[in-house]
Every structure is written in structure tokens, then in C-alpha cells.
Amino acid sequence: MKLRIRHSKMIQQGLARLSLLWGLFWVFFKIGPSTFGGGYAMMTVIEHEIAGKRKWMEEHEVHDMMSIAGSAPGGVGVNASAFIGYRLAKIPGAVAAVLGITLPTFLILYALSFFYTQLQHVPKVQAAFKGINGAVIGLIAVAAYKMGKNALFDRTTLVIGAASLGLLLLTGWNPIFLIMAGLVLGIAVVRVKKWFGLQVVTEKEHQEGQNSTGNTGVIEYYI
Amino acid sequence: MFIWQLFWAFLKIGFLSFGGGYAVLSMIQYETHSNGWMSDAEFRETVSLSGMSPGSIATNSATLIGYHAAGLPGAIAATSGIILPSLIVVILIAAFFFKIHTNFWVKSSFYGLRPIITGLILYAAIHFAFPSRNGSILDWTTLGTLLIGAATFIAVVKYKVHPLAIILLSACAGIVIF
């Protein structure tokens, strides 16, 4: 008798866990394709779903998590989904959430590239694509501008930024080395500056309420 | 093995893709170029397709490049390669150092990283705007492309137009201009 009760409890718990995993997968499956433009467009939707509608996390916890999602490597949407999934259901939760946010885009892209290969040689399609190519260049420039506004705020950062662009244009080095160098360089520069007794500011100071995303502390470099 | 190569290249990129999306384009372009997965022109088309689709432009490009290079298994390998690092790093952060963004080491490394990311994104923009082409640099296509690019920049920064509207408008503009 006792054993049977314990058994049914275990089954119940298992089912509750499965339904949580499925819920995580489904929430992010819906968020994935609805947020065109990626990144911070996604953030408000995630906040609404997780803190507002489902009350899975507190609002301040979601904000905290987003600043981390912005600083960890990878897309901010995928990072946020992994974070929320982990907080709610450990590693299986993280996997379910990441699968959820990735799968729809994967399928959409798959279909899109199929149609593209079919229509590639139609002149009107080619022309439309040239137009979109221009828009994408513009969007990349916007990303650079937004990032630059936050990143290049003193003489050191200006020099580092200009030097890295110059190196890329002139040498064609693997950008991966630049990223790794940047991680070390930042720490070294701050150390040296402290050594000389200079005042070190590692981030551009934000004025409250100026951030357009509404979350202070979130770096707006992912659009 | 080829599939493994795709997975490995995007895994490397994934671990260092600070800043997400556009910053990674330069890295993806480098790997694609040096492995000969597709031509520069094909890469530009790929990025345009990625920009049109929902989600991160980096992940989208990985999917398309993987697909182009090795079909469905390639697409799965490249996509999981670029996503796996997010999963691993975020789980580590969530499990062990939740308050990482206030950490001194993180703050000072980002001080050096952010300007470099800016450089990487700018480089991607320049690379796309001025493709190495035989013949004159300023032909009709380049000029039109730059015009649309400039219009996009102004529309997003000044008037905050949604990227989806811009992509649709630019497709129409493309049909008219080219």
C-alpha cells in the first residue's frame, strides 16, 4: 500500500516535471519566430511571458538575468532561454528552452533556403535580394553605431577600436584572436591604469531612464 | 570528417561570440572563407537571408552555411556548434557565479572587448558594402546598395523603423532600382 502511494507520487512528480519541460519548450518555441530582429526585441516578450503571464520568475530576477545573457558569449535570446530553463528545471530545462527557441527559426530557414534555391535565377528575386543586401549593410552599421556609443567612451577604448579595425582591414587576421586578445587586454589596461594610480572607469555611465530598453545595466549591443 | 569540421568551427566561434549577432559575422566570414565552404557572393546572400529571418543573424548564418556545405546534417552540426557554447557557459554562470556582471575581472575584460567588438562589426559592414569585384568599385550596384544601406541606417537610428519593415521596403526598392 505504502509502496503504491509512493509510486503514484513519483509518477505525479515525473508528469509535473515533463509538463514543465514541455511548457518551457513551448513558450520559447512561440517566442522564437515572433521576434524578428532578434535580441532586445525578444527581451520584452520574454519578460512578459516569464514574469508577467506565467509568474515563473520575479521581474527583477529577469532583469538580472538579461544583463548576464548580454555579457555571456552567444545570442542574447538563446542565452536568456538557457538561463530561464536552467533556473526552472536544471539542465533538462535549459536544453528544452534552447531547443524551443532554436527549432522554429531552423525550420523557417530551411524552408526559406529551399524556396531561394528554386527562385534564385528569377531576375526580380535577384533584384529584391540586392536591395535586402543593402538593408542588411545598414543594419550592421546600426549595430556598430549602437555598440560604439557604449564602447568607445574614452581615449583608450577609441584607440583599441580603431586599431582592431585597422588590423582587420590590413592583415586579414583571424578575428577570433582579436576577441581573445581583447579579453586579456582589458584586464591588463585596467591593471596598468590602477598601477599608475589613474581613475578607472570600465563602463560608460548610464543615466537612469536613458536606456531605451528600459532595463538599466543592459548593454544594447545586440539588435 | 567534414561534418565534424563544421561543428568544430562554429563551436569555436560560439565560445567567443561576445556581443552576439553582427559581431560574429566577421568570424563566420573568416572561417567560411578559409575553409572554402562558399564564395564571398554566396556568403553575402546567406547573410541577407539570415537578416530576413527571425532570430539571431549569427545562428541563422550558421544554419545556412552548414546546409550549403553539407545538407541537413551540416545545418544541424553548424547550428548546434554555435549554440552549444551558450548552453554550457550560461549553465555554468547560472550554477556557480550568478552575479558575474558585477565581477571585477569580467568588467575589466569587457573594457577591452567592447571596442574590439565595435571594430569587428564595422569591419563586417565595410566588407559587405565594398565587395572585392573585378572592374570599377563604384558601379551602379554598389552605389544603389550603399544608398539603401544609408537610408536604412537613418531610418533605424533616427525614426526607429522596425527591421522587418525595412527588409520588405528594401526588397521593393531593389526591384525598382536594379
- pLDDT class of B136 with cuts at 50, 70, 90: low
**Same domain assignment for residues B146 and B72:** no
Residues of B in contact with A143 (CB under 8 A): 21-23, 121
CB contact under 8 A, B119 and A165: yes
DSSP A72-121: SSS-HHHHHHHHHHHHHHHHHHHHHHHHHHHHHHHHHHHHHHHHHHHHTT
For A170, list phi and psi in degrees, rounded to 5.
-90, -40
How close, in Å, is residue B12 to chain A by CA atoms? 8
B85 touches A73 (CB < 8 A): yes
What confidence tens digit (pLDDT) does each residue in A12-45 have? 888 989 999 999 999 999 888 776 655 566 777 8
- For residue B140, pLDDT over 90 is answered with no
How close, in Å, is residue A15 to chain B by CA atoms? 24
- For residue B158, pLDDT over 50 is answered with yes
Q: What is the pLDDT of residue A103?
A: 93
**Same domain assignment for residues B123 and B138:** no
Residues 91-120 of B with CB under 8 A from A: 91, 93-95, 98, 100-101, 105-120
Facing residue for B118 by CB, picked from A34, A136, A152: A152
Its domain, for residue B66, covers 2-129
**Same domain assignment for residues B55 and B121:** yes
Q: What is the pLDDT of residue A219?
A: 43
Residues of A in contact with B17 (CB under 8 A): 73-75
- The last residue of a domain, from among B103, B129, B155: B129
- Copy the grid coordinates of residue A43: 527581451
Q: What is the pLDDT of residue A35?
A: 66
**Same domain assignment for residues B39 and B117:** yes
How close, in Å, is residue A218 to chain B by CA atoms? 10
Residue A141 CA to residue A146 CA, distance in Å, equals 9
Residue A87 CA to residue B83 CA, distance in Å, equals 18
A162 touches A156 (CB < 8 A): no
Residues of A in contact with B65 (CB under 8 A): none
Q: What is the pLDDT of residue B30?
A: 93
**Same domain assignment for residues B45 and B84:** yes
CB contact under 8 A, B19 and A221: yes
Task: Summarize the confidence of residues A7-16 as an average pLDDT.
Answer: 88
Q: What is the pLDDT of residue A62?
A: 82
CB contact under 8 A, B152 and A139: yes
Mean pLDDT, chain B, rounded, equals 88
**Same domain assignment for residues B73 and B14:** yes
Locate cell 521593393: which residue? B172
Task: Summarize the confidence of residues B163-173 as an average pLDDT.
Answer: 90
Q: By C-alpha distance, which of B164, B41, B125, B21 is closest to A134?
A: B125
Task: Summarize the confidence of residues B120-129 as an average pLDDT.
Answer: 90
Residue A154 CA to residue A171 CA, distance in Å, equals 26
Q: What is the pLDDT of residue A221?
A: 39
CB contact under 8 A, B49 and A186: no
Task: Summarize the confidence of residues A81-85 as an average pLDDT.
Answer: 93
Flag whether residue A145 sits within 8 Å of chain B, measured between CB atoms: yes
Q: What is the pLDDT of residue A33?
A: 79
Which carries the bigger pLDDT value, residue A37 or residue B141?
Answer: B141
A149: amino acid identity, one letter: K
**Same domain assignment for residues B82 and B99:** yes
Residues 5-44 of B with CB under 8 A from A: 12-23, 25-27, 30, 34, 44
ipTM for the whole complex: 0.89
Question: Over pLDDT 70: what percentage of chain A?
Answer: 87
CB contact under 8 A, B56 and A116: no
- pLDDT class of A9 with cuts at 50, 70, 90: confident
- The last residue of a domain, from among B110, B129, B148: B129
Domain count for chain B: 2
Residue B151 CA to residue B154 CA, distance in Å, equals 5
How close, in Å, is residue A8 to chain B by CA atoms? 31
DSSP state of A65: H
Task: Summarize the confidence of residues B38-61 as an average pLDDT.
Answer: 88
- pLDDT class of A211 with cuts at 50, 70, 90: very low
**Same domain assignment for residues B123 and B141:** no
Q: What is the pLDDT of residue A204?
A: 77
Reported pTM: 0.86
Mean pLDDT, chain A, rounded, equals 84
- For residue B148, pLDDT over 70 is answered with yes
- For residue A213, pLDDT over 50 is answered with no
**Same domain assignment for residues B163 and B91:** no
Nearest CA in chain A to B116: A161
**Same domain assignment for residues B116 and B156:** no
| Chains A–B, number of C-beta pairs less than 8 Å apart | 377
Task: Summarize the confidence of residues B149-157 as an average pLDDT.
Answer: 93
**Same domain assignment for residues B117 and B158:** no
**Same domain assignment for residues B88 and B139:** no
Helices (H), A120-217: 123-151, 155-171, 175-195
- pLDDT class of A215 with cuts at 50, 70, 90: very low
Flag whether residue A186 sits within 8 Å of chain B, measured between CB atoms: yes
CB contact under 8 A, A179 and B107: no
